[in-house]
Amino acid sequence: MVARISTNLFYHTGLDAMETHAERLLKIQEQLSSGKRVNRPSDDPVAVSKLHNLNRAMATIDQFVENGRYARSQLELEDTVLDDATSVLQRARELTIQMMNDSYSAADRKATAQEIDQLIRHLANLANTRTPEHELLFAGYASDIPAAFADSNSDGFYEYQGAQSGQRFVQIGFDNDNYVAPDDQGDPSRVRIGDRGDAVFVADPNAGATLTISRPGGGTATVENNVLNVLINLRDWLDAGEQPPPEIGDQLYKGITAISEAQARLGGRINRIDSQYEALQTFQLTLKDHKKNLEEVDVVKATADFTQTQTALQFAQQAFARVQQMSLFQYLR
């Protein structure tokens, strides 16, 4: 049995061939003009899905990097403030040691009390430092209250007004368990920003929440355990013209040590941010290379395909023109 091939079949076959080559040529031309192998989901559905995931991961990395920059600026601000606080306490301790010397008179001590009063004001301002976002740096979660430290009692001593527990964290890297350790240890994906003032400006880390201090004229008082109150006690002793007791010098030394230790921990957090940043940059470069391989067109190969497809289209057009002439009427003329 011999199959019969009609003129109509020749016509449609030739037309389909031209349309196929023309569509292919148009697609390659679009790839060359855009520089992308995938311009729409239909070009490569699998690649589009992968590109979506890559773009989402890269956007997440960008957010982590921005979080790291924000956290670093907060910690650098805190480091600067603590440097100033240390200078204040060191000056106060120098004056304390001087005023314990018998060579200074009551008038000298009264005059020094005025300088101590200025140091108290300066330290209170430092303890109540606000960030560029107008948040208290040393109030923990309660960053929007009027002050981290305030002399709310009639006795003039300062009390911590901020959060008593908890800290503020920002995420600076990918996390597998989404768990934040309370002591900020063993979780490199997050970093604590800021420190609670009751832990930084403590006068004696081993004394608990309060201090029992000797007061001028005799007697004692129980005040909150912070260096502001130590300075107030020092001022009152000097203002009374009396030698400050040795315990004040010891408390100031311990306060300076506590701030230095807080700065050391702060430096460790800054180093962790830097390490995470480097890791994220390396990972992002890997993702960009993978995205480039999926998305960008191979110009050399696409150019060769364009030339080959263009030639095929020309052949298909020539063949179609000849097929149009293959009819019974052409032979009868």
pLDDT at 126: 97
In a domain, residue 308? The reply is: no
Q: pLDDT digit string (tens) for 110-157?
A: 999 999 999 999 999 999 999 988 999 999 888 889 999 998 666 789
Mean pLDDT of 308-333: 55
Mean pLDDT of 52-71: 90
In a domain, residue 322? The reply is: no
Ranking 81-95, 137-151, 167-181, 250-264 by mean pLDDT, the lowest is 167-181
pLDDT averaged over every residue in the chain: 81
In a domain, residue 21? The reply is: no
CATH of the domain at 166: 1.20.1330.10
In a domain, residue 269? The reply is: no
Mean pLDDT of 269-285: 90
In a domain, residue 189? The reply is: yes
Facing residues of 193 across strands?
168
Q: Is the predicted pLDDT of residue 308 greater than 80, yes or no?
A: no
| Maximum separation of any 2 CA atoms in the chain, in Å | 138
Q: Which domain holds residue 218?
A: 72-262
Tally of domains in the chain = 1
Q: Is the predicted pLDDT of residue 1 greater than 50, yes or no?
A: no
In a domain, residue 217? The reply is: yes
In a domain, residue 246? The reply is: yes
In a domain, residue 4? The reply is: no
Report the predicted TM-score, pTM, of the whole model to 2 decimal places. Answer: 0.75
